[in-house]
Structure 1
């Protein structure tokens, strides 16, 4: 199928884009923002989205790129996944984002799709929301009332639903630096370039041979990304030992509500979560050779 006919606008400032959104809202028109288009265009072709106006954010300078703030990085919402996977600042200070971005789909999608677009799309199987949640990212949003910021814990609200309201634009994401932490994004799929059946974003800080702190984000284990809080608590004070880590990761599915679909039922996903969490943590602490 092809999309229905729609009007197209390509503003060159955030203010112009907001004005277009406000005008569409006032007239009752359905409007969609276009970032990389890797999620929007397919659903428009299926007529699952049928906007009368598409506002392309690609010509607005300042919505892409990485800024070093000292203790954090601010990443423009229009920054492509390919840049996320290869940028030296991200690799040095928040490598978990590099690792996750490198698993997104294929090279063509990574060059077109954007960090902010994937976050606002909020697909439960998407690879970028769980790392953002694990890192306590802050989402910077601009709307008619001006700028506001939303912490990751309150950003993802349901299936394909976030804290970005009608008439607002996600402009950037601020993430704290995790210098000295180990990290790994472990993704389980049946075939290459598939959406995650289950994935785990792991951040681990080791001191004196003991895990001092751990953060784990779960992909596709509920309608939103989740923190594996029981495993995080079990890992705190845990020896850097494969058996001890496996015991802690046995709690990874606690508090989750995974869906059942053609890729696996809920019980299968809960089992996978423990396996994938173990692999992610072992890799984060440098024990990849003991994976199972």
Structure 2
């Protein structure tokens, strides 16, 4: 490690001001950033901790029927408090990492980092959620822009994520045992006006919607429909855990299982 300053703001406004300092970087749960600092892959001179901002924590239902989760809410809280409102999302949160990660990592940190193998981006994109920042609201379809890339501007903070509640949904995850990240995972959400299918862990471009499966399932929501579909393996991640072809195959398998689980 190396020397750096730590700011501990108590409000979003104070956090935004602190992030205006030169080489400042936000620190949410720290599950990605701290290992990055230890490996010296990043060297900010100022860390702005968001953990003390109470207005960014909590789970509630809005008047228009959306599940609202504060950006500073840890995974364990989402798993517990969202279960009665959105079981599929709560189940996603309950299987992230291990207990230590679930009690430190936050939804805002995960969405802001947009790791290509993270769980939450699939839940956010698959749900058609809205990412709320200190400046604006961004639809999930516009928010995720590639591996570790988002629509966030410099110093912009994810303060909340708003989830519309589908008729039914399921998150199917093939866990990579060493990291607990998904080797491939699929979030399927069935709405009155159609089906959304979001895939994480597979593509070099990060989380994405499998539009071919969405169209087929919107016409006929049955697991057998997915069996006849395939994903191009050219842009899939290929590493020691699995080839691009294997990941492309798993997308179909995970989607079929998710649809079957919904019934």
Q: Please, what TM-score do these two structures have when normalized by structure 1? A: 0.84
Deviations 1:88-135 (A, max 9, x none): xx2233222111111100011001100111111100100110110011
Q: 1:115 to 1:239 in 2, by over 3 A?
A: closer
- Does residue 221 of the first structure (1) align with residue 202 of the second (2)? yes
**Aligned-residue offset at 1:10:** 0.2
- Does residue 191 of the first structure (1) align with residue 172 of the second (2)? no
Is the radius of gyration larger for structure 1 or structure 2?
1
**Aligned-residue offset at 1:237:** 3.1
Matches within 5 A, 1:41-80: 41-70=34-63, 71-80=65-74
Q: 1:135 to 1:249 in 2, by over 3 A?
A: farther
**Are 1:231 and 1:251, in contact at CA under 8 Å, matched by a contact in 2?**
yes
Q: SS of the residue aligned with 1:113?
A: coil
Please report the RMSD computed on the Cα atoms of aligned residues, expressed in angstroms: 1.9
Alpha-carbon separation, structure 2, partners of 1:40 and 1:127: 17
- Does residue 83 of the first structure (1) align with residue 61 of the second (2)? no
Q: 1:249 to 1:135 in 2, by over 3 A?
A: farther
**Are 1:230 and 1:254, in contact at CA under 8 Å, matched by a contact in 2?**
no
Q: 1:250 to 1:7 in 2, by over 3 A?
A: farther
**Are 2:11 and 2:55, in contact at CA under 8 Å, matched by a contact in 1?**
no
Matches within 5 A, 1:67-146: 67-70=60-63, 71-87=65-81, 90-142=82-134
Q: 1:10 to 1:256 in 2, by over 3 A?
A: farther
Deviations 1:257-289 (A, max 9, x none): 21111111111111111111111111121xxxx
Q: SS of the residue aligned with 2:3?
A: coil
Alpha-carbon separation, structure 2, partners of 1:233 and 1:157: 22
Aligned residues: 261
Matches within 5 A, 1:171-190: 171-178=159-166, 181-190=167-176
- Does residue 158 of the first structure (1) align with residue 146 of the second (2)? yes
Alpha-carbon separation, structure 1, partners of 2:58 and 2:254: 31
Q: Which runs of 5+ in 1 are unaligned?
A: 207-211, 286-292
**Are 2:146 and 2:207, in contact at CA under 8 Å, matched by a contact in 1?**
no
Residue from 200, 218, 232 that aligns with 2:214:
232
Alpha-carbon separation, structure 1, partners of 2:38 and 2:176: 26
